[in-house]
Amino acid sequence: MRNLKQWIPLVLGILVVTGASVAQHMVKASQGPGDANTIPWPVQGSSSGTPFQVRLRDGDGTGLADVFAVGDAISATAKSTVGLISDGTNYRAALGDTGGRLQINITDDTDVALVDGSGNLMINKGATTTTSPTKTTTPLIGNATACTAAGGASCTIIYASTDWISYPDLTITIKNTDDTDAIENVLVEWSPDNTSFEVWDSTTFANLAAGAIKSLAVSGNSRRFLRAEARSANDAGTDVWITASQD
């Protein structure tokens, strides 16, 4: 039967071995793929479950991943950085162009209110008013045939088709610049596709007297391309302004 002095070294030996196996582990590291010269490295851990911290590097010692905080300016040489967006279920990488700008594709082209005539996404910047609208001046050559249909042979375009879909409120102002002759017909037209035009108004500016000026306000606009045509039985001319605002 062993006495107490014989048991003490055995118990201490067990404690030392057990403590070392919990506190320290050995991993192997190599200089690169296929390198057989692996080197054992001690990795310290703890029995409390504290996770290991691991940093990945390539064969030259360059880090393969960088960690950034929200709002950090990230260098173009940074490793493993990616912008993520969620589709509601999965995360996906954000798409950009070659200039580093975020690219957004609108796949539902039936919702024309989202994009302008060039397919660009429109953003409402708040209240914006065109306080100095550009004046369009057009001479009218006398024509005896009435202008009553969009694109008619006797009609002269006095305001070229322009996309106004992003402006819910706009005002059309037309002036007869002639000192003598009236303008018998003025057609205000809209088109959804810049090809097929409908006559929206033919009475507001009809028989516009020499030197007269009138305006037509459009509220809650949801149309796209605006165009105006006119006809004078005698030589005349027009000035056209469009004033528009966004809410």
pLDDT bracket for residue 16 (50, 70, 90): very low
Q: Is the pLDDT at 177 greater than 90, yes or no?
A: yes
User: What mean pLDDT value characterizes the chain?
Assistant: 74
- Lowest-pLDDT range, 48-52, 89-93, 174-178? 48-52
Picking from 162, 163, 167, 144, the residue whose alpha carbon sits closest to that of residue 154 is: 144
Q: Which domains does the chain have, with CATH numbers?
A: 128-246 (2.60.120.380)
Q: What are phi and psi of 79, to 5 degrees?
A: -100, 145
pLDDT bracket for residue 207 (50, 70, 90): very high
Could you tell me how many residues make up the chain? 247
Q: What is the pLDDT of residues 118-168, one digit of tens each?
A: 666 665 555 555 556 789 999 999 999 999 999 999 999 999 999 988 788
